[in-house]
Every structure is written in C-alpha cells, then in structure tokens.
C-alpha cells in the first residue's frame, strides 16, 4: 500500500467519522448560509455596485465557514490522543499531512459548492451558466485554503486559543487566494467566462502548488514534540 | 561476544523549558524481559516512555532501542514497537473493527481482515466489533487498544499506565491479556504507580524518581512483602534530597 493510498485511508477515516456525526459540514454550511443572508440584508436592493459586492460576499462566507472545518480537523485527532497514535505509525509525516489535507479539501469543496448554490438563488445568479466555471474556481481556492489551513490547524490544535489563533494565522496568508478567487469569480458572475480571469486563475494554481509543497515539507516540524 | 540489550539508555536528559523531566537517566533492558518501572506522579515515567517509543526526542544522551539509535532510526523502529497508554489512540466515531483496519492499513499489515478478527477474538470484543468505540466502556476501550498495539506483531511493547481508570474487573481482564504477551519473545516495559499490578508479571523491577532510576533489581531478589516499604524509602529519600 503506497504513499497516497495511506493518505487516502486517513482522509477516508475523517469522511466516515463526519458522515456519522455530521458536525463539521453542517456547521460550515449553516455558517456560510448565515453570512450570505446577513450580507443580503445589508446590501440595498437594486444597488448599482451590486455586481462589485457579490463576489466579496461569496468569498467572505467561504472563508469564515471554512475556518470552522479547519478548527475541527485536528481537534478530533486530540480525542483519545489519536494524533499520537497516528504519529506512532511507520509512515512519513507527509502521508499524515496529505491525509488530513484531502479530508479538509473534500469538506471545504462541498461547503463551497453548496454555499455558492445558495448564494446564486439569493443574488439572482445564472446558475446554469456559472456553475461549472465557479466549481473550478471553488476547487482551486479550496486546495489553497485547505493546504495552508491544514498546516496551521496542526500548529494551533494544542493551544487553548486555537479558534482565534487559527484565524489570525490563516487570514493574512489567505489574502492571495481570496483576492484571486474573488477577481476571477467576478468575471464569471458578470458573464465574461473563465478566460477573462485567467491571470487570477493562474495565480490560484501557482499558490496551490507552492503552498502545498511548502506545507508538506514543514508539517513534520509542527507535530514533533 | 556480548549482545546489545533491547533497550540501552545512557545519560538521558529531557528538558521542557528550564524544567528537567529526565536527569541523566541510564537504563538497560535485555531482550525478552518484562521491566516494570514504578514511580510517583511527576517522576518522568511518561516522558521516558515517550522518548523510548519515538514520540519525543532526547535533549541530551543516547537512546538505542531494538538496535536502532534514536531519533535517527525512529521511522524504522516504529514498525517494531507497540504502545499502550492511558490514552487509547482510538477514534470514537469508528467501530472497533474499523479502528483496527485503519491502523492496520497504516502499518501495512498483511491479511488485515483476518488479523483484525483474530485480535478482536483474543481481546473478547467480537460481539461488539461493529459498535462505535464511543459506546464502549473504559475497560473495553483499553482491550481494543491492546489489539491495536498488537496488530503489527511488535517485538517491543511500551505500556504507560495502562490500568488508569479501569475498575477491578477490567484491570483483571487487561492483566490476563498482558500475560499472554509475556512470552519471552517480546521485550516489555510497563510504567505504573500501582505496586500490586506492577509486580504481578514482571521479570525486573525499577523505581524512577525525579527523572532518575534509583532502584533496579530482578524480581527474584525482590521481597514482595516489603517492597512497598522499599518503594516509599526510595521515594521519600529522593524528595528529601530535593527539598
């Protein structure tokens, strides 16, 4: 059984646990819906600049809801000290990181797509035309978000102030992802298609590759005693 | 020709900030022996177990376990050690069987399903194999934890306060399972502060106080009746030295 299949075993374990408790994804979705709803009340109907505001609303909801999932990610490994059990396994630390990353990616991507569908109903977005390009943007943003988020979640898990610390650590590093995702989705929501935002998509891809590689390399140092 | 012991520790220091949890500790455990380490709370028993089982690095000193020098050979050693702690390392939302299969995949255990089933039978949990660990009593969790630690058939076992939180019945069951592990082929190190349970199965007895081994004897030369007094003499003496 190879490197990736053992990582997948870790992700699969997280997914099975989530299917049983439904704690993480449900709370992420509810929080995402609430953020969108609150912004919806705050934005005046028929506002001329509404199109400029919309992507910001979507990505604010994505980021805040995503943080909830990341906070749970390593917290569940602390129950019964399971993280130590994992670290005792004869696997490379990168296997553990990638396993947790895959799990977070699945939860974040699902949350992103469902929140977008809810958003499109409330903000009158052409769902049929926008869904596929938006799914691609959401997926790329989820990779960047989960890669750095998984790393920082492992850093903050042992601390009493982990909820606050994770947000403080993560948000500044996530700026390029949120910026690129908001800019490219603005083009899609305007009906210009993915091509118009290709530069921003390129930035997302580069961010994903660079930060995933860095996270794999430094994860070892975050979990060693 | 002298053979290297299964565990050889020399001059082991472990600091947490300025606090030294282990202070120049030396330890030898011959292969196949069962060593029980007694010590009061704060003696550094768990810290020692964490260093021996690759969970934590030494600040100073040399640690060789199973012929492997730590921390360099930690990855290699993890295939050969089993750890049972007061924490069970079990996922509450997975069933007993799923927990074993998950860890078995991590250890790349061959014939995993058969191995998991035979271990569940050994620890008496076949009837509850599909139930979530969250529904288990502390004793059942600890028995499953033993099965988890034995999945990959380790030749070195580290048992860190495994009796913690168990009632008498569960302790008895745990003791029976541990007895089956003591075949002479496995090197076992147990830490406890419970004198009665610790003396039951061991080959060697040690007392650790304030990060040092202050007593070490084979069980044959230990007078069980007066050991409690011996223990308190050593513990009391150490506390007086440090005060």
Residues of A in contact with B81 (CB under 8 A): 88
What local confidence, expressed as pLDDT, does residue A123 receive? Answer: 87
What local confidence, expressed as pLDDT, does residue A202 receive? Answer: 94
Is B195 near chain A, with CB under 8 Å? no
Strands (DSSP E) found in chain A: none
Beta bridge partners of B213: B208
Q: What's the pLDDT tens digit per position in B182-227?
A: 888 899 999 988 888 888 889 999 999 999 999 999 998 888 778 8
For chain A, domain boundaries: 3-223
Of A144, A128, A132, the C-alpha closest to A202 is A144
Q: What's the pLDDT tens digit per position in A48-58?
A: 777 778 899 99
Residues in CB range of A1: below 8 A, 6 or more apart: A9, B105, B108
**Confidence tier at B239 by pLDDT (50, 70, 90):** low
Q: Is B183 exposed, middle or buried (0-12, 13-18, 19+ CB in 10 A)?
A: exposed
What local confidence, expressed as pLDDT, does residue B243 receive? Answer: 39
**Confidence tier at B242 by pLDDT (50, 70, 90):** very low
Interchain CB distance below 8 Å, B50 and A80: no
- ipTM, two decimals, is 0.89
Interchain CB distance below 8 Å, A81 and B81: no
**Best of B22, B48, B93 to mutate (most A CBs within 10 Å, chain A):** B93
Strands B187-192, B156-160: pairing is parallel
Q: What's the pLDDT tens digit per position in B43-70?
A: 999 999 999 999 999 999 999 999 999 8
Residues of B in contact with A224 (CB under 8 A): 57
Q: Which residue has the higher pLDDT, A197 or B47?
A: B47
Is A20 near chain B, with CB under 8 Å? yes
Least confident among A124-128, B73-77, B144-148, B184-188: A124-128
Q: Which residue has the higher pLDDT, A208 or B169?
A: A208
Nearest to B102 among A13, A80, A87 (CB): A13
What local confidence, expressed as pLDDT, does residue A143 receive? Answer: 97
State chain B's mean pLDDT as an integer: 89
Q: What residue in B sits closest to A87 (Cα-Cα)?
A: B55
Q: Which residue has the higher pLDDT, B78 or B234?
A: B78
Q: Which residue has the higher pLDDT, A223 or A32?
A: A32
Give chain B as a 3 state SS string.
CCCCCCEEEEEEEEEECCEEEEEEEEEEECCCCEEEEECCCCCCHHHHHHHHCCCCCCCEEEEEECCEEECCCHHHHHCCEEEEECCCCCCCCCEHHHHHHHHHHHHCCCCHHHHHHHHHHHCCCHHHCCCEHHHCCHHHHHHHHHHHHHCCCCCEEEEECCCCCCCHHHHHHHHHHHHHHCCCCCEEEEEECCHHHHHCCCCEEEEEECCEEEEEEEHHHCCHHHHHHHHHHHHHHHHHHHC
What local confidence, expressed as pLDDT, does residue B2 receive? Answer: 58
Q: What residue in A sits closest to B99 (Cα-Cα)?
A: A13
What local confidence, expressed as pLDDT, does residue B71 receive? Answer: 87
What local confidence, expressed as pLDDT, does residue B241 receive? Answer: 46
**Confidence tier at B238 by pLDDT (50, 70, 90):** low
| Size (chain A), residues | 225
Provide mean pLDDT across the span A83-93: 93
Q: What's the pLDDT tens digit per position in A103-137?
A: 999 999 999 999 999 999 988 888 888 889 999 99
**pLDDT value at A99 more than 90:** yes
What local confidence, expressed as pLDDT, does residue B223 receive? Answer: 83
Is B217 near chain A, with CB under 8 Å? no
Q: What residue in B sits closest to A9 (Cα-Cα)?
A: B102
The C-alpha of A91 sits at a distance from chain B's nearest C-alpha, in angstroms, of 7
Q: Give the Cα separation of A33 and A61 in Å (integer).
A: 7
**Best of A85, A93, A94, A224 to mutate (most B CBs within 10 Å, chain B):** A85
The C-alpha of A93 sits at a distance from chain B's nearest C-alpha, in angstroms, of 10
Q: What residue in A sits closest to B16 (Cα-Cα)?
A: A225
Instruction: Give exposure, A63-98, as e/b (b: 16+ Cβ within 10 Å).
Output: bbbbbbbbbbbbbbbebbbbbbbbbbbbbbbbbbbb
State chain A's mean pLDDT as an integer: 90
């Amino acid at each position: 059984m190879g490197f990736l299949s053992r990582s997948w075993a870790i992700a699969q374990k997280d997914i099975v646990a989530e299917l049983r408790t439904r704690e993480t994804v449900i709370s992420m979705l509810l929080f995402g819906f609430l953020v969108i709803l609150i912004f919806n009340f705050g934005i005046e109907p028929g506002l001329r600049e509404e199109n400029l505001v919309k992507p910001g609303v979507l990505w604010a909801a994505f980021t805040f809801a995503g943080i909830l999932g990341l906070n749970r990610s390593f917290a569940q490994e602390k129950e019964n000290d399971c993280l130590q059990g994992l670290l005792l396994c004869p696997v490379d630390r990168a296997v553990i990181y990638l396993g947790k990353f895959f799990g977070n990616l699945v939860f974040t991507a699902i949350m992103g797509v469902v929140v977008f569908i809810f958003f499109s109903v409330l903000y009158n977005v052409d769902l049929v035309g926008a869904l596929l390009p938006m799914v691609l943007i959401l997926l790329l943003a989820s990779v960047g978000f989960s890669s750095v988020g998984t790393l920082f979640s492992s850093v903050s898990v042992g601390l009493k102030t982990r909820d606050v610390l994770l947000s403080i650590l993560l948000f500044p590093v996530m700026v390029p992802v949120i910026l690129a995702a908001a800019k490219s989705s603005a083009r899609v929501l305007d009906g210009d298609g993915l091509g118009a935002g290709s530069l921003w998509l390129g930035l997302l891809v580069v961010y994903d590759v660079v930060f995933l590689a860095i996270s794999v390399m430094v994860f070892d140092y975050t979990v060693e005693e | 020709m002298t053979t290297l012991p299964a565990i050889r520790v020399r001059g082991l220091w472990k600091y947490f900030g300025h606090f030294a949890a282990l202070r120049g500790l030396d330890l030898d455990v011959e292969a196949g022996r069962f060593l029980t380490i007694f010590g009061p709370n704060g003696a550094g028993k768990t810290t020692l177990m964490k260093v021996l089982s690759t969970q934590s690095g030494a600040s100073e000193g040399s640690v060789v376990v199973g012929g492997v020098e730590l921390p360099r050979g930690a990855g290699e050693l993890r295939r050969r050690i089993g750890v049972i702690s007061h924490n069970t390392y079990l996922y509450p939302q997975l069933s007993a069987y799923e927990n074993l299969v998950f860890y078995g995949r991590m250890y790349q255990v061959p014939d995993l399903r058969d191995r998991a089933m035979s271990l569940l039978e050994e620890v008496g949990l076949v009837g509850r194999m599909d139930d979530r660990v969250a529904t288990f009593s502390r004793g059942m969790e600890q028995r499953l934890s033993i099965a988890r630690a034995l999945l990959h058939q380790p030749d070195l076992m580290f048992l860190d306060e495994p009796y913690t939180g168990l009632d008498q019945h569960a302790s008895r069951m745990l003791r029976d399972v541990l007895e089956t592990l003591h075949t002479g082929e496995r090197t076992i190190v147990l830490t406890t502060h419970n004198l009665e349970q610790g003396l039951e199965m061991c080959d060697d007895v040690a007392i650790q106080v304030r990060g040092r081994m202050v007593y070490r004897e084979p069980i044959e030369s230990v007078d069980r009746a007066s050991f409690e007094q011996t223990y308190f003499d050593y513990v009391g003496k150490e506390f007086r030295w440090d005060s």
